[in-house]
Chains A and B, each alone.
Chain A
Amino acid sequence: MNDVPVTTKLGHKVPLFELATYDPVKGDFSKFSLAEQLERKRWTILFFYPADFTFV
């Protein structure tokens, strides 16, 4: 657990990562993969927020 990521700077490549997701359209669990986004030549907007069940 010592591999704390370095903050990515503007204009630099984002290290590839994956996250487990809940997909409301499918109503099922899935995953997000940055590598897949690059393969599919898609733009990505990441939208961070503090916590579920609050007032986003």
Chain B
Amino acid sequence: MGCDVVTVSTDTQFVHLAWQRCEKELAAVKYPMAADPTGNVSRMFGVHDEASGLALRGTFIIDPEGTLLNSEVNFYNLGRNIDELLRKFKANVYMKRKANEVCPSKWKDEGDKTLVDPGAKMVGKVHEALQGELQGA
């Protein structure tokens, strides 16, 4: 889908190499592992923990024009859900093509119900719009 995933921590690329070659769980990893030892890129996204010098679990979606469209930050002890990341990525790609549509919370993939041209007629009538019962929607 024209997307590149890059993992980032404040470790150097040398440590990334050593970790990926040592840890068998990472044998299948294909993503470039980026080094942010100064923490400056982590700060750019607001995930640098100044107390520890480490990056929090932040995930960011940037479109092909360089605009930040999505951010999710978890504290140290909560892992991320890849299905939810994929859902948000697909929704952003879809909405890039269909600028007059918005994806509701239950949207999962192309073909699922969207809201088209949300405007005055939909105010207070989102339920009807989601059911396809809104006149003229």
Contacts and interface: CB of A to CB of B under 8 A. Distances in A.
Interface in A3-21: 3-17, 19-21
Given A8-B68, A48-B42, A50-B54, A20 B4 contact: no
Given A43-B61, A45-B4, A50-B76, A8 B41 contact: no
A10 to B, nearest CB: 6
A25 to B, nearest CB: 5
Interface residues of A, number: 42
B20 A24 contact: yes
A19 to B, nearest CB: 4
B109 interface: no
Interface range on chain B (Cβ under 8 Å from partner):
35 or more
Contacts of B58: 46, 48
B44 A8 contact: yes
A5 B71 contact: no
Contacts of A25: 30
Most chain A CB within 10 A, of B32, B61, B65, B69, is at B32
Interface of A: 3-17, 19-25, 29-30, 32, 34, 37-38, 41-53, 56
3 closest Cβ pairs, A-B complex: A22-B16, A43-B3, A19-B34
